[in-house]
Structure 1
Amino acid sequence: MRLTPGPPREIDLDGVDLFDLDLYTEGDPHPVWDAMRERAPLHHQVLPDGREFWSVTRFEDVCRVLGDHREFTSERGTVPTHLGADDVAAGVLLTSTDPPRHTEVRRPLGAKLTARAVKSWEDSIRRTIVRFLAPALDGEPFDLAEQALLLPALVTGPLLGIPEKDWAELVQLTAMVTAPSDPHFRTGSEAATLAIAHHELVTYVREWVLSRRKSGFEDDSLLHHLMNVRPGGAPLTDEEIALDGYSILLGANVTTPHTVSGTVHALMERPEQFDKAQADPTLIPNLVEEGLRWTSAACNFMRYAVDDVEIAGGTIPARGAVVAWIGSANRDASRFPDPHTFDITRANAKRQVAFGFGPHFCIGAPLARLTLRVFFEELLQHFGSIEPAGEPQHLRSYFIAGMTHLPITAQKRRTP
């Protein structure tokens, strides 16, 4: 998906197809979202197969849909790939569960992922990122987007309790879930790709749990911690652990790589921003926030209206599916002046909703922010310049905004 919009053009909102994968792979959805925010903040679309959904694109409406589980439930599915068929794991899978159960499972896990808790991992993360960036410093072409797909596993694999030999396979499987139509990850049809990936990921966590129970081995990993969570006072079943572990693996792997590559691409397009961050490292935390806003890697989330809901000047009927477009909310000019300008000094960049909003706000946000901050600290310290070495290739997905290829060449920074 293009992150820098092309020139303005006339948009026929009656003919817009928000499920057109070409719009995100080769096209430019931002002018479409701009027009929707202005002229159709509640947009209704019926797909050729009869499935229908409503879309909200303004910042305040996106926050309302994601923030109020009494009006908009997660317990029928939360991603557009489930549209038309209720999620069979709804009410159990962490991402497809409403409070209070969602809170009871999430709270003890969240205690392991606070900003204070993850601070102790900073040195380890820094060593990992230094090793990750080292091959790019020889001046040869380096495909940042392709290599970055593995970056979250390098960082979170040890924290999750996942052995290194399994990282690459799990990254591939999580990519298959979030971009089942992309030729890099597709295996047969889109439906087959989703089914295979879902089965393999759930089976992996289930077998991980069984092996831990048999061995009696205990550690401080997040997956092991999940085995001790007791919502409502009762322990999770192995199947519930497997499904919630699946949620954690997805959350750990699917967005950070695309935030990295999209933000680096923005800096290559705007070398003055690169120079500004390099000259003043105190800007790096805000660079991270602007990168999150700019890329909005989790492009949308879906909910279902519990009853008829009036919103954005219209009505979503009871049980109607509504897609909250995060990529649009983060370019809403009423919240982010001059929203299509990438500006690392933006005063309110941290108000972005790239991590979601409300009960399902990303549980791993503190770890993601730490990883991104350390990544750009190391990149700006060691890289004197970054240049494109080929055209980026965009992910074929209407759920995750990202890249599969971003060839770059880098020059080492000269020390005084």
Structure 2
Amino acid sequence: MHGTIDLAVDSHQKAAADKAWSMPLDDIDVSQPELFRTDSFWPYFDRLRREAPVHYCKDSMFGPYWSVTKYNDIMDIETNHSVFSSAASLGGITIRDVPPDFRRESFIAMDQPRHSAQRKTVAPMFTPTHLDQLAINIRKRSAECLDNLPRNEVFDWVDKVSVELTTQMLAVLFDFPWEDRRKLTRWSDIATTLPGPDGLVATEEDRQVELLECATYFARLWKERVNQPPKSDLLSMMAHSDATRDMDPKNFLGNLILLIVGGNDTTRNTLSGSIYALSKNPEQYSKLRANPELIDSFVPEVIRWQTPLAHMRRTALDDFEFRGQQIRKGDKVVMWYVSGNRDDEVIDRPYEFMIDRARPRTHISFGFGIHRCVGIRLAELQLKIIWEEILKRFDNIEVVGEPKRVYSSFVKGYETLPVRITPDTSTSIWDRSR
């Protein structure tokens, strides 16, 4: 059965490549969510990097936009804050324009100097000392989760492991009521989904109803924290900081959603991606089992390979010529991280998954410059500890079918991933290798 699936996938990929390389260049629209749901976007980005690294799409479901697809060009856009804005008032950080009435500032969707002031509020959560404390909690909860997984039966890795462990971590970071922690997962998914008849919400208005529930829930927690002595959770940090204590309701919800999505989607989809990547590259899985110390390079390599957020967006503040293309004031400029991470001018053999890659942190999955993900070290720590615990328990986790992918050109993730752990694989390679 698995071989049949692989053949179908290969056939689908060939058809996608034929279409990508034969259609008129001006007609290419890499923002189509269906390309990501079917994992067929790769050849389109290959062509753009080669023939039109700064490419204009005049018509898409998200309106006209520029694509920036090469690694170094993305870094140039990321660091040119005088021309390219992240401000929510201009459309924010995703290709999907949020209707003006629903736009909310967060520190990632904010320009200087306000950006740094609000970002610094939560930075203490990610200091080495605090990460050392969190590591104890991550290891304990990872062990409990893995020990309770079913053996010799197919289960969904996304739900049982990726969602559960990242949601537990979010609950710890916010000091959020444990019994309600799956609300955090729901709000993260609601914030990033595309409204439609087959989506989580039918309309933009439906999305706002659920996000209002999120705001109301957190407002109650905020009132508790602001009247208590400062603690080390994210909500208390914001409640007691001059830069965030008096946020208006939209800025408050904007920062909450940023922290929820940032703490959920990235780690969750990279954790799922790590299982899928190893299943597609069994020789790398063997190498990891034989030498668990390779986890240190495996983690950043899988973050590059997966690229859990496909893009970030900026808006041009002025007319600007970039790589020979004339970008106009108000134009939407999309930095495709997923393409930059396959740029062979910067990354050697970028389509290969190599857990012992010489420079595994040469990737742009977390952005670059002042907007680089504030939680990058925590994300790496979570993945490192979870995989240490996996290798202590299981020789092999078998992927038994193709994943169901998210319908989104922003979140590059998995809805489901069927796996199986068989009884004879429940001994420890980690222990035997020492």
Corresponding residue for residue 121 of structure 2: 108
For residues 310 and 377 of structure 1, the distance between their equivalents in structure 2, rounded to whole angstroms, comes to: 48
Pairing 1:73-222 to 2, within 5 Å after superposition: 73-75=85-87, 76-80=90-94, 82-83=96-97, 85-86=99-100, 89=103, 92-136=105-149, 138-147=151-160, 148-181=162-195, 186-189=200-203, 191-213=204-226, 216=228, 218-222=230-234
Q: Residues 333 and 11 (structure 1 numbering): CA distance in 2 closer, same or farther, change over 3 Å?
A: farther
Classify 1:136/1:330 alpha carbon distance in 2 versus 1 (closer, same or farther; 3 Å): same
> Alpha carbon RMSD of aligned pairs, Å?
2.5
Structure 2 contact 310–411 (Cα < 8 Å) conserved: yes
Which runs of 5 or more structure 2 residues have no equivalent in the other structure? Answer: 1-5
- Aligned-pair distance for 1:306? 1.3
- 1:251-303 C-alpha deviation (Å, 9 max, x unpaired): 11121111011111010111111111111122101111110000001110110
What is the rounded CA distance, in whole Å, between the counterparts of 2:138 and 2:427 in structure 1? 24
The answer to whether residue 382 in structure 2 is matched with residue 371 in structure 1 is yes
Residues 348 and 313 of structure 1: is their aligned pair in 2 closer, same or farther, counting only changes over 3 Å? farther
Query: 1:303 is matched with which residue?
Result: 314
Residue number in structure 2 paired with 1:404: 415
Q: 1:319 to 1:370 in 2, by over 3 A?
A: same
- Per the alignment, residue 65 of structure 2 pairs with 53
Q: Is the 8 A contact 2:93 2:109 kept in 1?
A: no
Which residue number in structure 2 is paired with residue 37 of structure 1?
49
Report if aligned partners of 2:74, 2:340 keep a CA contact under 8 Å in 1.
yes
Assess, with a 3 A threshold, how the Cα gap between structure 1 residues 270 and 286 changes in structure 2: closer, same or farther: same
8 Å CA contact 1:267–1:273 kept in 2: the answer is yes
In the aligned structure 2, how far is the partner of 1:182 from the partner of 1:62?
A: 31
Q: Which residue of 2 aligns with 1:237?
A: 247
1:77 Cα shift? Answer: 3.1
Residues 24 and 380 (structure 1), Cα distance of their counterparts in 2 relative to 1, 3 Å cut: same
For the pair 1:72 / 2:79, whether they are aligned, the reply is no
Q: CA offset at residue 182 of structure 1?
A: 8.2
The 1:59/1:87 distance shift into structure 2, 3 A limit, reads farther
Moved more, 4-13 or 216-225: 4-13
Other structure's SS at 1:336 match: coil
Q: Hey, which of these two has a bigger chunk of helix by percent?
A: 2
Aligned residues: 410
Aligned AA (2:114): R
Closer, same or farther: CA 193–268 of 1 in aligned 2, 3 Å: farther
| 1:383–1:413 contact (8 Å) kept in structure 2 | yes
> Cα distance, 1:312 vs. partner?
2.9
Partners of 1:404 and 1:183 in 2: how far apart? 17
- Among the aligned pairs, what percent are the same residue? 27
Are the aligned partners of 1:310 and 1:316 in contact in 2 as well (CA < 8 Å)?
Answer: yes
- Cα distance in structure 2, aligned partners of 1:181 and 1:408: 30
Secondary structure in 1 matching 2:166: helix
- Within a 5 Å distance, the mapping from 1:271-310 to structure 2 comes to 271-310=282-321
> If the length of structure 1 is used for normalisation, what is the TM-score?
0.91
Report the counterpart of residue 389 of structure 1 in structure 2.
400
The Cα of 1:46 is off from its aligned counterpart by 2.3
CA contact (8 A) 1:79 1:399 kept: no
SS at match of 1:258: helix
**Native 8 Å contact 1:302 1:324 kept in 2:** yes
Q: Select 1:24's aligned residue among 36, 45, 52.
A: 36
Distance 1:401 1:245 in 2: 21
Name the aligned partner's letter for residue 160 of structure 1.
F
Q: Give CA deviations for 1:66-99 in whole Å, capped at 9, x if unaligned.
A: 2222121011233435427458545x42221112
In structure 1, what is the Cα distance between the partners aligned to 2:272 and 2:175?
Answer: 26
Alpha-carbon distance in structure 2 between the residues aligned to 1:48 and 1:253: 28
1:116 Cα deviation from its structure 2 partner: 3.8
Matches of 1:321 and 1:343, distance apart in 2: 34
Distance in 1 between residues matched to 2:310 and 2:187, nearest whole Å: 19
Structure 1: segments with no counterpart, 5+ residues: none
TM-score relative to the length of structure 2: 0.87
Query: Secondary structure at 2:361's aligned position in 1?
Result: helix
